[in-house]
Amino acid sequence: MQFHYGVIRQLSELNYHLDVESKPGVYLFFHSTDGPVVYVGRSGNLRERIRNRGYAYYTFMHCNTLHEAYWYECALFHTYRPTLDNKIHPGRLEGGENDCPVCKSKNLLRQGLKKIDRQNYMEAIEEFSRIIQVSADAYFKRGLARYKLGDNHGSIQDFTQAIRIDPGFSRAYKGRGNSHYKTGNYRQAARDYSQATRINPTDASLYYNKAKAHQLLQENDIALENFKKASEFFLQRNDLSMYKQTLDQLEKLQSSQGVNYKK
């Protein structure tokens, strides 16, 4: 399987990359810009850890917490494992959610199969139901990791798998829509945002993203309608920053259409 990365940078130029902050995150190392991933890691101080590794090229993403970084590290470790220099599974953290999503699914599968062998069929069904839930979330979160790393094609694959497992997974539709948007496939992005709004009709960001996609498709009437819905939901949840940003977008579009929008 071929993966498409985001910006791969020279490690020797790290001092000029001010967006790499000293906070939790995950990183991938490469020997060359067109080579495979050769190392996956995490750190609570991303900038210092990247600085002190002996590889030529890297890419990265920040995380909210070290536990979130561990989750992504596990998912990426299993994804790129065949080409990695680090062959040992990422070490667990103390406290918090420490289950590797891939290993957890495999363990649940083994438990379910054992219960079938013992003719405990109802218990087996429960185990397999848990696998489905874990797998959909695992694909979704790995899709997020790939999206943040600029691997839009890989993230689309993962979001699609999450949707196949759980067709009511609105965040997976939103994530896939964002990935399609990044690749310039605005039509498919709009379709995914539309499906997500059917499942979660009060998510203001979905209407905002959908409006932007239709605007780029020059379908301004649909864009206006969705900007209006977005502004209403942003206001309802008291997100005044996004409310104002949406109104600005709405007014600019209506001005270009020769229409005045009154707040």
24 inside domain: yes
Residues 13, 58, single domain; the answer is: yes
The total number of structural domains that make up the chain? 3
4 inside domain: no
How many angstroms separate the CA atoms of 157 and 190, rounded?
Answer: 17
134 inside domain: yes
pTM above 0.95, yes or no: no
Domain harbouring 108, CATH code: 1.25.40.10
Is 97 within 8 Å of 67 (Cβ atoms)? Answer: yes
1 inside domain: no
Range of the domain at 141: 99-200
Is 243 within 8 Å of 228 (Cβ atoms)? Answer: no
How many angstroms separate the CA atoms of 92 and 170, rounded?
Answer: 30
In what helix (H) or strand (E) does residue 62 lie, and over which residues does it extend? Answer: strand 57-62
Is 132 within 8 Å of 101 (Cβ atoms)? Answer: no
Residues 185, 105, single domain; the answer is: yes
Per-residue pLDDT for the chain (263 aa), expressed as one digit of tens each?
Answer: 233 455 789 999 999 999 889 999 899 999 998 888 999 999 999 999 999 888 999 998 888 888 888 888 888 888 888 899 988 998 887 765 567 777 877 777 788 788 878 888 877 777 776 766 667 877 888 788 788 888 899 889 889 988 887 778 899 999 999 999 999 999 999 999 999 998 889 999 999 999 999 999 999 999 999 999 999 999 998 999 999 999 999 898 888 776 555 44
CA atoms within 13 A on the CB side of 39: 18
193 inside domain: yes
Distances in Å between the Cα of 215 and the Cα atoms of 125, 144, 208, 227 are 46, 25, 11, 10
Which of 200, 233, 249 is at the close of a domain? 200
Is 165 within 8 Å of 142 (Cβ atoms)? Answer: no
